[in-house]
Structure 1
Amino acid sequence: MECPTLTLGTEADVDQTHVVHQTKTVYDGMLAEKWRKQDVALLALKQQLDAECYRIAETDGAQRAMEYGVRAQETLNRMQKRHSEELSLLHERYQQTLNKMIRETDSNEAQNNNIRGGIEQQLSN
């Protein structure tokens, strides 16, 4: 009867890789949802500002509407820039977390390989 071959660390490596992949999937989904919500907020604000601009044009004239339109566009640009910076920072944090998880997975895999190599060497002696 032959003795079965034992493999150390294989299941843990698969689990760690799976966890990293799952985490990335969750982070990607969270970023996409956050981006979508911010786009919706920007579009809603633009719609409000456009409506106000049309109202001003009807009541106060084209000159006042143009002045308001310029200020409204600056407001939209600032909001869009702030949202973009916020999402970039969030993406950077997520990426750092994923990179840390990958390094830990690689480190664990290297340790398992060292242990596996040591056991194989002892068994061959």
Structure 2
Amino acid sequence: MPRPAPTDRRNRVRELTAQGLDTPTIARQLDVPASTIRNDRAALRIPSTSHDTLTHQQRLVLTAAARGLTVAETAAEMWITPHTVHGHRLAAIRRLGARTTTHAVTLAIALGQIPADTALTTRGATS
């Protein structure tokens, strides 16, 4: 079966989401990777399903990255090791189907997983 054009696919994603289907099920039905469906949901501003939801720690790590914190700074702020920060970051990247940390932050903001104004609160900024 040929893959639908992006516009047709996004319309189909909207319809299937309205039926209550989750991202993996939609991806199987449309024969595309789950990351494609997550990107479509972000573009359409469709809220995440529970499968797409990041853990609390993953959200904190991506929020810190959006604020411009280094891994060491994030680890110190969260009272965990830098190795654990890397693990949470990698898990978030995989869960969102992102390619980089920046891409994961962008998707997390678009999906409502982290606040959109996070990136405006950078380190060293004064109020």
In the superposition, the TM-score normalised over structure 1's length comes to 0.25
Point out the structure with the larger helix share. Answer: 1
- Structure (1 or 2) with the larger CA radius of gyration: 1
